[in-house]
């Protein structure tokens, strides 16, 4: 190889333009080679396996690794941005290498170091006891780059960690594999949402195996921390780093696992760069409309899972009125803001009056009005704020805040003892709009 100074002197001796261009190109290549960081020339570096967790520390050259049995896997990966990517690797199983180094039964965690000093720590449990997979449908459920949208876990294929001698990032086509980022640690996902892209150590040069007890992650905290809260409250979760340490939670009383919903999809290292979407992706839990129990756990690489913490919320305050009520003639089911709700009697049309009648208590209470019944006078009293409406079974005369009015279809009782009233009259005096779809036979009440 030409020395830097010799190259300069020889180029100045060349007069031909074509030779001058060639020598400048050679010089540029030499300078780039001299200035390039270690990883750019790392394809030929060796791999050292050492530490108290192995009986026979060993160093493998690339040539020796190439002579070992090779295994090829496709990996589904999500990074901490988060973004979903395919990766493919071909190399030696990590466990095969550790066996050659005499890994001890008491080994508990491993530290992986790259040529440039980058490190990743993983526990023996999460590497070799927990099953890891490639999820063929992990990009379903949203655009390919939406790492915060859970994919479909169907059809998962078990894969093993390898030290890759060939790899490609951003593609599931093995024809694109090359030596650029190798040696490279590659591993599968334990769940379809697990973020593993940040664990793929490029230019791997050293593996240290330890036998000590790995530390545990700190448990999540909640704000508010539990107790009595106003209806509609939102709950935020956090932990010490909120980066690789992911918070998983449940709201149904079950114990959260790595399969549960994730809270902090965007790692804290990206918060300033993603401030415009941070609140919609790392989204608070809620609004709380009923008493709720949130259970949460911190799970991340290289440490034991945190203890599961539980936050109890007692919700107080008036329940909001339904915004949309849909009733169907002849059906004993209604929809309140899209949620099904059972009726004890179906709405019906009274042909002689040309009016649709509905159960007064159901509609009134859905609109947050109070309903009273006097069996002696057979009167229904509907109270909404300062408005009071009194209807009498079989009578066309009604009282609205003490003022007598007449309706063209009196309320009536139908089995099993439910009072039915003209829907348009009751809804409009309670401040709602009413539409009727004759094709679907649906009454649509909007408040």
Decide if pLDDT at 43 tops 70: no
> Same domain, yes or no, for 85 and 195?
yes
Residue 66: is its pLDDT beyond 90?
yes
Structure tokens at 229: 């809260």
* 17-35 helix and 4-13 helix, angle to the nearest 10 degrees: 170
Query: Is the pLDDT assigned to residue 41 strictly greater than 90?
Result: no
Residues in Cβ contact with 58 at an 8 Å cutoff, skipping those fewer than 6 apart: 48, 49, 100, 101
Q: What is the CATH number of the domain that holds 337?
A: 3.30.457.10
Does one domain contain both 81 and 121?
Answer: yes
pLDDT of residue 19 exceeding 50: no
> Which segment of 126-135, 152-161, 362-371 scores lowest on mean pLDDT?
362-371
Residues 24 and 60 in one domain: no
121 is a domain residue: yes
Reduce the secondary structure of the chain to three states and give it as a string. CCCHHHHHHHHHHCCCHHHHHHHHHHHHHHHHHHHCCHHHHHHHCCEEEECCCECCCEEECHHHHHHCCCEEEEEEEECCCCCEEEEEEEEEEHHHHHHHCCECCCCCEEEEEECCCCEEEEEHHHHHHCCCEECCCCCCCCCCCCCCCCCCCCCCEECCCEEEEEEEECCCCHHHCECCCCCEEECCECCCCCCCHHHCCECEEEEEEECCCCCECCCCEEECCCEEEECCEEEEEECCCCCCCEEEEECCCCCCCCCCCECCCCCHHHCCCCCCCHHHHCCCEEEECCCEEEEEEEECCCCECCCCEEEEEEEECCCCCCCEEEEECCCCEEEECCEEEECCCCCEEECCCCEEEEEHHHHHHHCCCEEEEECCCCEEEEEECCEEEEEECCCCEEEECCEEEECCCCCEEECCCEEEEEHHHHHHHCCCEEEEECCCCEEEEEC
Residues 204 and 73 in one domain: yes
Q: Which residue has the tokens 């679907």?
A: 440
Counted domains in the chain: 4
Same domain, 244 and 166: no
Q: Is residue 215 domain-resident?
A: no
pLDDT digits (tens, 9 = 90+) for 183-195: 999 999 999 999 9
Does the pLDDT value for residue 59 go beyond 50?
Answer: yes
Query: Is 68 found in the same domain as 30?
Result: no
In a domain, residue 379? The reply is: yes
Is the pTM here over 0.75, yes or no? no
Judged against a pLDDT cut of 80, whether residue 122 lies above it is answered with yes
Strand order in the sheet with 442-446: 339-342, 333-336, 324-328, 442-446, 433-437
Question: Hey, which residues does 304 pair with through a beta bridge?
Answer: 216
Supply the pLDDT for residue 28.
57
336, 295: one domain: no
Choice between 140 and 187, residue whose per-residue pLDDT is larger: 187
What CATH number does the domain containing 160 carry? 3.90.420.10
- Are the beta carbons of 190 and 258 closer than 8 angstroms? yes
Considering the domain architecture, whether residues 195 and 66 belong to the same structural domain is answered as yes
Residues 294, 372, single domain; the answer is no
Cα separation, 419 vs 416, whole angstroms = 9
Does the pLDDT at position 242 exceed 90? yes
Most confident range (mean pLDDT) of 12-16, 119-123, 366-370, 371-375 is: 119-123
CATH of residue 299: 2.60.40
Closest CA to 315 of 236, 232, 254: 232
Identify the domain boundary among 210, 237, 253. Answer: 210
Question: Does residue 50 form part of some domain?
Answer: yes
Looking at the fold, whether 133 and 192 belong to one and the same domain comes out as yes
User: Rounded to the nearest 10 degrees, how much is the dihedral formed by the CA atoms of 142, 147, 148, 149?
Assistant: 30
In-domain check, residue 378: yes
Tokens matching residue 120? 């990743």
Between residues 236 and 37, which one has the greater pLDDT?
236
| Residues 67-89: tens digit of each pLDDT | 999 999 999 999 999 999 999 99
Q: Domain of 116?
A: 43-210
26 φ/ψ angles, rounded to the nearest 5 degrees: -65, -45
State whether 202 and 65 are in the same domain: yes
- Residue 385 phi/psi, 5-degree rounding, is 65, -120
pLDDT, position 434 = 85
User: Is a pLDDT exceeding 90 seen at residue 128?
Assistant: yes
Boundary (domain end) residue, out of 210, 233, 258: 210
User: What are the distances in angstroms from CA 393 to CA 361, 363, 370, 389?
Assistant: 14, 17, 18, 13
Assess whether 228 and 199 both reside in one domain. Answer: no
- What's the number of CA atoms in the CB half-sphere (13 Å) around residue 7? 15
Q: How many CB atoms lie within 10 A of CB 17?
A: 8
The answer to whether position 216 is within a domain reads no
What confidence tier does 18 reach under pLDDT thresholds 50, 70, 90?
A: low
Distance CA 425, CA 405 (A): 11
């Amino acid at each position: 190889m030409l020395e830097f100074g010799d190259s300069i002197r020889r180029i100045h001796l060349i007069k031909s333009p074509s030779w001058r261009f060639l020598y400048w190109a050679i010089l540029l290549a030499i300078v780039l080679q001299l200035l390039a960081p270690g990883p750019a020339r790392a394809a030929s570096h060796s791999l050292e396996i050492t530490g108290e967790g192995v009986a026979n520390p060993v160093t493998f050259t690339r040539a020796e690794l190439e002579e070992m049995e090779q295994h090829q896997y496709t990996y589904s990966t999500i990074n901490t941005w988060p973004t979903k990517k395919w990766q493919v690797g071909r190399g030696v199983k990590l466990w095969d290498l550790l066996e050659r180094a005499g890994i001890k039964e008491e080994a508990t965690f491993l530290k992986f170091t790259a040529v440039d000093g980058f490190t990743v720590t993983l526990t023996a449990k999460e590497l070799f006891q927990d099953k890891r997979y490639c999820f063929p449908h992990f990009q379903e459920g949203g655009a390919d780059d939406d790492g915060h949208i859970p994919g479909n876990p169907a059809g998962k294929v078990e894969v093993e960690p390898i030290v890759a001698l060939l790899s490609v990032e951003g593609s599931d086509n093995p024809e694109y594999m090359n030596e650029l980022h190798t040696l490279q640690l590659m591993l599968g996902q334990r769940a379809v949402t697990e973020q593993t892209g940040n664990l793929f150590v490029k230019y791997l040069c050293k593996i240290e195996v330890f036998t000590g007890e790995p530390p545990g992650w700190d448990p999540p905290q909640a704000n508010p921390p539990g107790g009595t809260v106003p209806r509609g409250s939102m709950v935020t979760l956090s932990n010490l780093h909120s980066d690789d340490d992911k918070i998983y939670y449940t709201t149904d009383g079950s114990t959260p696992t790595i399969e549960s919903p994730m809270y902090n999809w965007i790692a804290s290292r990206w918060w300033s760069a993603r401030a415009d979407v941070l609140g919609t992706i790392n989204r608070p839990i809620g609004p709380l409309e009923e008493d709720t129990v949130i259970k949460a756990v911190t799970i991340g690489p290289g440490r034991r899972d945190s203890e599961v913490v539980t936050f109890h919320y007692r919700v107080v305050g008036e329940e909001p009125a339904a915004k949309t009520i849909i009733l169907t003639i002849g059906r004993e089911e209604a929809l309140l803001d899209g949620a099904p709700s059972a009726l004890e009697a179906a709405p019906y049309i009274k042909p002689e009056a040309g009016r649709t009648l509905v159960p007064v208590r159901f509609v009134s209470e859905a609109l947050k009005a109070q309903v009273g019944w006097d069996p002696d006078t057979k009167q229904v009293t509907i109270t909404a704020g300062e408005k009071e409406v009194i209807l009498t079974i079989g009578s066309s005369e009604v009282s609205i805040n003490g003022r007598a009015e007449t309706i063209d279809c009196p309320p009536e009782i139908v089995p099993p003892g439910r009072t039915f009233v003209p829907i348009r009259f009751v809804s409009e005096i309670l401040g709602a709009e009413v539409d009727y779809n004759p094709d679907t036979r649906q009454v649509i009440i909007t408040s």
